[in-house]
Amino acid sequence: MNLKISPTIDEILEKGADFGGIDREEALRLMSLDLHSPETYALMQTANWMSREQFKGKAENHFHIGVNVAPCPLNCAFCSLAENVGIFTEHTEFGEEKIVNWAKLAESRNADALNIMTTGNFSLQRILDIGRLLKSAVSTPLVANTRDISHKEGEQLLDAGYVGAYHSVRLGEGRDTPLKIDKRIRTIQVLKDVGLRWMNCVEPVAPEHRHEEIVDLMFLARKYGATYSGVMRRINFPGSPMEKYGMITELEMAKMVAVSRLVMGDAPRAHCTHEPHSVSLIAGANLFFPEVGSSPRDGMSDTEEGRGKGIDACRLLQTEMHLDPDSPSNCF
Ligand code: SF4
């Protein structure tokens, strides 16, 4: 068995481990490594070392609450909430008492943030109401995960108690979605301008995506200084129009989590992956999204009763991998 790694890859890993970032060609070189090669394990080991060093063994849990279920007319091809998929036909919103109870559960388990997710056609006014409601009920930082917003709307989110926003240029943006890349990037700039922390993930990664488009989104996150930016794979819910393309495995995702960790260098406060699993926790990831309520990956209206992993399960995965979910967040 050959355990020696190529000198060229060794040089890239050494450079990455200095936290200064790597360049696009180097990232593409890492993306093309054989999954079971010693180089891939050295890559994951390097990313693992970087995160444990920089984040001091902290495991983050940003608790996703999907507050509404609706047939979304934006029809992103990878989303179970898309109107044309036909899974959800009625507009419903989880009640305020339920949302507050979820938030209190998250707070009691030391969640580091609440990610308040809505469909793309949900009322901003209701997002603001929910922000004010949760701000008065729990002390966990609030992150909004909604549509593109203007400067005025960004300021309203801040006033309502949100301290950050999850927002990504998705893989296949403009092809698998009706949204323009420029508009998505404009919203990132809005978040920076108004002082909301920008949270990102390279997503939803799937077998048909070229390495170049995946890597370009990693560099977008570094360029705009994302608070975190790891990798999430696409989940093909039953009946998904993307089923024909298949899904990447957790191990393939972990390798990309590691590449994005080297790309991000010293910029991030955490490094995410989704859905929660062990192997990426030794490849540079330290942030999970436990999930309740609606989810674009689930055919169940409450993912707590579907494929969503709860916060106790996430905490267990993290402690089993020697990460501490109870120490203070590095993100806020
Ligand atoms: S990803 Fe968001 S905007 Fe796109 S269809 Fe789903 S809910 Fe609507």
pLDDT in tens, the chain (332 residues): 778 999 999 999 999 999 999 999 999 999 999 999 999 999 999 999 999 999 999 999 999 999 999 999 999 999 999 999 999 999 999 999 999 999 999 999 999 999 999 999 999 999 999 999 999 999 999 999 999 999 999 999 999 999 999 999 999 999 999 999 999 999 999 999 999 999 999 999 999 999 999 999 999 999 999 999 999 999 999 999 999 999 999 999 999 999 999 999 999 999 999 999 999 999 999 999 999 999 999 999 999 999 999 999 999 999 999 999 999 999 99
Is residue 8 situated within a structural domain?
A: no
Q: Report the residue among 93, 119, 127, 168 best suited for mutation to probe ligand 1: largest number of ligand atoms under 8 A from its CB.
A: 119
Ligand 1 cavity residues, CB under 6 Å: 72, 74-76, 79, 81-82, 119-120, 177, 296
Domain with 316 in it: 50-320
Return d(Cα 262, Cα 256) in angstroms, integer: 10
Is 38 a member of any domain? no
Centroid of ligand 1 to alpha carbon of 260 (angstroms): 25
Distance separating alpha carbons of residues 328 and 232, to the nearest angstrom: 24
Residue 145 identity: N
Would you state the pLDDT for residue 3? 81
How far, in Å, is the centroid of ligand 1 from the Cα of 91? 14
- At 261, which CATH number? 3.20.20.70
Q: What is the pLDDT of residue 236?
A: 97
Is position 43 within any domain?
A: no
Q: What pLDDT score does 159 carry? A: 98
Measure 231 CA to ligand 1 centroid, in angstroms.
18
Q: Domain for residue 209, yes or no?
A: yes
Distance 269 CA to ligand 1 centre (A): 27
Cα of 225 vs centre of ligand 1, distance in Å, is 24
Q: Which residues contact 194 (CB under 8 A, 6 or more apart)?
A: 151, 154, 155, 157, 158
Q: So what's the pLDDT on residue 10?
A: 98
* Residue 244, pLDDT score: 96
In 178-309, the DSSP E strands lie at 197-205, 229-233, 273-274, 287-288, 291-293
Question: Closest Cα to atom 6, ligand 1: which residue?
Answer: 79
What is the spatial distance between Cα 20 and Cα 169, in angstroms, rounded to a whole number? 24
- Please report the pLDDT score of residue 55 as a whole number: 98
Is 27 inside a domain boundary? no
- Mutating to test ligand 1, I would choose from 68, 79, 235 the residue with most ligand atoms within 8 A of its C-beta, which is 79
Domains contained in the chain, number:
1
136 inside domain: yes
Q: Specify burial of residue 204 (Cβ count, 10 A radius: 0-12, 13-18, 19+).
A: buried
- Distance (angstroms) between ligand 1 centre and the Cα of 82 equals 6
Q: Would you state the torsion angle of the CA atoms of residues 320, 321, 327, 332, taken in this order, to the nearest 10 degrees?
A: -130
**221 CA to centre of ligand 1 in angstroms:** 21
Residue among 64, 69, 72 whose CB has most ligand 1 atoms within 8 A, to mutate: 72
Rounded to two decimals, the pTM is 0.97
Other CB atoms closer than 10 Å to residue 252's CB: what's the count? 16
Does 5 map to a domain? no
Q: Sort residue 179 into left (φ over 0), alpha (ψ -120 to 50) or beta.
A: beta
Q: Is residue 4 part of a domain?
A: no
